[in-house]
């Protein structure tokens, strides 16, 4: 009998054939999955700035300023614009009046290393939009050790930065930052990560939620809310939001303190701030500094029972208007008030006073005791006079 399957039992041959077909199908399916995963991972083209034509004029849209060349117009949809050490130009213009359209679109912009870079509208008296799609979940990133990546309007011109999706804005180093000095628009919020600074320096048209998981979110609009109409601002452990000026957060924007710090302004004048409801989900801090902050009635919000809200730089009315905190009459429950600690005074517990519900420390037991002793001393010292008055009245 010849070797092989030609003389094997027919049933055994059919079983072997079915096994081969099944194995091949599994192998094909695995190969297809691998193909799609690989294609997705590498679908974004990376264009690295080389600065062949310098930074002025229409630098962004010049093909020979990038490697590999993206063609005229610069990096486009699905592309990542990467800045590193190459190309010495610190300011990179986009001329929105060059006939290539009033929109420049890219997936992400990354400062990987090297000197600081600034992207701006170089066409005088014009308006254009830099749209960032964040197709890979990343909108902006600064991974340099100490440089800044900045975005701004030009001379007499406007460059809106449109975040077309929610995503990550990352600043890795505590000495680095991203500055958004022109209007930022977007309805899906963003997540700020990394130890560095993200500065919002313009009044913005933002929606959705903003989460700060590390570093500092600096709210520094000179006029108008830098957070626009976002629904919530969440500050996680080790993260901070800095109120550089007044009126930075929307009146209806809720604040979730999840281990982070809300820092007041350091200005010489009082910086008023009105915020929505306050949620305390982990021990956190409000450093009032020069700010006067008014929260919406938060008595219906359940705070984590083991969490403490530490208040620093609190000041009374006698000290001026800065360093004060309001929740409205009845704006916190007795349980919430017991969770507040005034660090500068070493006082645990608070109360709301006045028609505006100003938050003040509760009088400590030693204060009551000292007051009682003083009253008793005065009564003893004046006992003769008091007795005489009582006798005359009879």
Predicted confidence (pLDDT) at residue 333 exceeds the cutoff of 80: yes
Q: How confident is the model at residue 30 (pLDDT cuts 50, 70, 90)?
A: very low
pLDDT value, residue 88: 84
Helices (H) and strands (E) in the chain, counts: 4, 33
Mean pLDDT to the nearest integer, 271-283: 97
pLDDT value, residue 36: 33
β-bridge pairing 117-121 and 148-152? parallel
pLDDT value, residue 28: 38
Q: Which residues contact 374 (CB under 8 A, 6 or more apart)?
A: none
Mean pLDDT to the nearest integer, 112-139: 96
Q: Rounded to whole angstroms, how far apart are CA atoms 312 and 386?
A: 45
Q: How confident is the model at residue 387 (pLDDT cuts 50, 70, 90)?
A: low
Residue 115: Cβ-neighbour burial (10 angstroms; 0-12, 13-18, 19+): middle
Predicted confidence (pLDDT) at residue 380 exceeds the cutoff of 90: no
Q: What are phi and psi of 25, to 5 degrees?
A: -65, -45
Where does 164-288 show beta strands of DSSP type E?
168-171, 177-180, 184-186, 190-193, 197-200, 205-206, 209-212, 216-219, 232-236, 240-243, 254-258, 261-263, 271-275, 278-282, 284-287
β-bridge pairing 347-348 and 340-342? antiparallel
Predicted confidence (pLDDT) at residue 21 exceeds the cutoff of 90: no
Closest of 61, 57, 55 to residue 86, by C-alpha: 55
71 token code pair: 């063609």
Q: pTM score, two decimals?
A: 0.83
pLDDT value, residue 365: 43
pLDDT digits (tens, 9 = 90+) for 291-318: 999 999 999 999 999 999 999 999 998 8
- The string of DSSP codes covering 353-381 is ETTTTEEEEPPPHHHHHHHHHHHHHHHHH
Mean pLDDT to the nearest integer, 314-326: 92
pLDDT digits (tens, 9 = 90+) for 352-366: 999 999 999 998 544
pLDDT value, residue 56: 63
pLDDT value, residue 268: 83
Distances, alpha carbon 151 to alpha carbons 257, 303, 365, in Å? 29, 38, 54
pLDDT digits (tens, 9 = 90+) for 173-217: 999 999 999 999 999 999 999 999 999 999 999 999 999 999 999
CB atoms within 10 A of CB 188: 15
Task: Tell me the average pLDDT of the chain.
Answer: 86
The region, left, alpha or beta by phi > 0 then psi within -120 to 50, assigned to residue 73 is: left
The SS3 call for residue 97 is coil
Residue 275: Cβ-neighbour burial (10 angstroms; 0-12, 13-18, 19+): buried
Q: How confident is the model at residue 319 (pLDDT cuts 50, 70, 90)?
A: confident
């Amino acid at each position: 009998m010849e070797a092989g399957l030609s003389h094997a039992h027919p049933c055994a041959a059919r079983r072997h054939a079915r096994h081969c077909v099944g194995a091949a199908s599994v192998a094909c399916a695995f190969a297809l999955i691998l193909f799609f995963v690989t294609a997705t991972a590498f679908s974004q083209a990376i264009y690295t700035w080389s600065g062949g034509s310098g930074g002025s004029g229409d630098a962004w849209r010049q093909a020979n300023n990038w490697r590999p060349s993206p063609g005229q117009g610069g990096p486009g949809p699905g592309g990542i614009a990467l800045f590193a050490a190459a190309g010495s130009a610190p300011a990179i213009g986009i001329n929105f009046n060059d006939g290539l359209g009033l929109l420049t679109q890219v997936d992400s912009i990354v400062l990987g290393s090297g000197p600081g870079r600034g992207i701006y509208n170089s066409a005088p008296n014009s308006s254009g939009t830099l749209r960032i799609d964040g197709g890979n979940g990343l909108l902006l990133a600064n991974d340099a050790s100490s440089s800044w990546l900045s975005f701004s309007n030009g001379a007499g011109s406007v460059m809106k930065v449109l975040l077309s999706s929610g995503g990550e804005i990352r600043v890795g180093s505590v000495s680095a930052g991203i500055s958004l000095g022109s209007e930022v628009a977007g309805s899906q919020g963003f997540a700020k990560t990394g130890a560095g600074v993200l500065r919002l320096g313009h009044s913005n048209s933002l929606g959705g939620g903003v989460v700060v998981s590390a570093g500092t979110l600096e709210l520094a609009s000179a006029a108008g809310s830098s957070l626009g109409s976002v629904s919530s601002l969440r500050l996680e452990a080790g993260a901070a939001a800095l109120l550089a000026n007044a009126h930075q957060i929307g009146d209806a924007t809720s604040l979730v303190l999840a281990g982070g710090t809300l820092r007041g302004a350091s200005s010489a004048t009082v910086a008023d701030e009105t915020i929505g409801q306050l949620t305390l989900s982990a021990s956190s801090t409000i450093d009032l500094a020069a700010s006067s902050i008014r929260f919406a009635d938060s008595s219906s919000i359940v705070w984590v029972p083991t969490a403490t809200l530490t208040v620093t730089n609190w000041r009374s009315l006698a000290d001026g208007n800065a360093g004060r905190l309001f929740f409205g009459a009845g704006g916190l429950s007795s349980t919430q008030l017991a969770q507040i600690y005034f660090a500068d005074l070493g006082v645990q517990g608070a109360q709301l006073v006045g028609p505006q519900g100003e938050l003040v420390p509760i009088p400590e037991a030693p204060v009551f005791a000292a007051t009682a002793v003083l009253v008793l001393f005065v009564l003893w010292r004046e006992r003769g006079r008091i007795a005489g008055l009582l006798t005359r009245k009879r």
